[in-house]
Amino acid sequence: MSTRIGALAVVLAATTALSACAGRNDRPQLAYEERPVDLLYNAGYQRLERERWLDAVAYFQEVERQHPYSEWSRRAILMQMYAFYRQGRYQDAIAAADRFIQLYPGSPSASYAFYMKGVCYFEQIVDVGRDQAATGQALLALRDVARRYPDTPYAADAIKIDMVNDQLAGKEMAIGRWYQRQEQPLAAINRYRTVIDNEEFQRTSHTPEALYRLVELYLTLGLDEEATRNGAVLGHNYPGSRWYQDAYVLLTNDGQRPGVEPEGEREGWLRRLIPG
């Protein structure tokens, strides 16, 4: 009993510290005694509803400690995962998801744990100029959900996968532009070709610019046939894109004859060809 009381004292101290960090005055009052599992769980759930995320975590962790083999413990891990996620503590949420997956791999809720891992990585994606480790992890985690649980609503959330691919393609474009500014055309071409050749990147918003950059670089290198070929692909797939309008001007000024005229804003690109 003394060991259990000591554990409860630690939880109370941790809860008080967490509440102070969150700027809360209404802290949970845990008595130094064993509590029925439903009371502990409901106390955590009430704090969850009040958006007292870290206070809720303390109660759910106590459910897990006092009643590790109960159904309540299984639910408490999921609740911790959600509370950490809402608090923005993504690594803690991922750790809770991993613990659930390890303990209950056959549970119907495992699909939710896998999905929340992907969402936590997804939430950590930052601008394309920074390291994209979280982006790659998000893509792997979301693909894992689609592969393991194809018939669940989580697998249908493909928009996140599309957004992750767009972010990764954007990173390739940023590196390609940097190489291009450094006058390293071959290195830049390799990056732009990655966007063009990767089947998942082909569906992103960066594909038209990647094709235009290839036209630009191939003309610079004197590879007119390659420039024209990429311009034709751009014109066939994105005839109304501003990137094709610019590529059309470049090719025409170089003496090439693109097979497709740009759609829309015809006057705009004609003025660039013939000022005034």
Task: For the chain, give the mean pLDDT.
Answer: 78
More reliable by pLDDT, 207 or 200:
207
Task: Name the pLDDT band for 33 (thresholds 50, 70, 90).
Answer: low
pLDDT digits (tens, 9 = 90+) for 218-265: 999 989 889 899 988 988 888 888 898 888 888 888 777 776 777 654
Produce one character per residue of 44-82: b if its CB has 16 or more CB atoms within 10 Å, e if not.
bbebbeeebbbbbbbbbbbbbbbbeeeebbbbbbbbbbb
Q: What is the pTM of this model?
A: 0.56
pLDDT digits (tens, 9 = 90+) for 255-267: 777 767 776 544 4
More reliable by pLDDT, 260 or 10:
260
- What is the CATH architecture assignment of 167-276? Alpha Horseshoe (1.25)
The dihedral sign for the CA sequence 214, 219, 221, 225: positive
Helical (H) or strand (E) element with 41: helix 37-49
Note the pLDDT of residue 276. Answer: 38
Tokens of 271: 């003025």
DSSP 25: S
Note the pLDDT of residue 126. Answer: 60
How far apart (Å, rounded) are the C-alpha atoms in residues 85 and 221? 50
Mean pLDDT value across residues 34-56: 88
Domain extents in the chain = 1-87, 101-156, 167-276
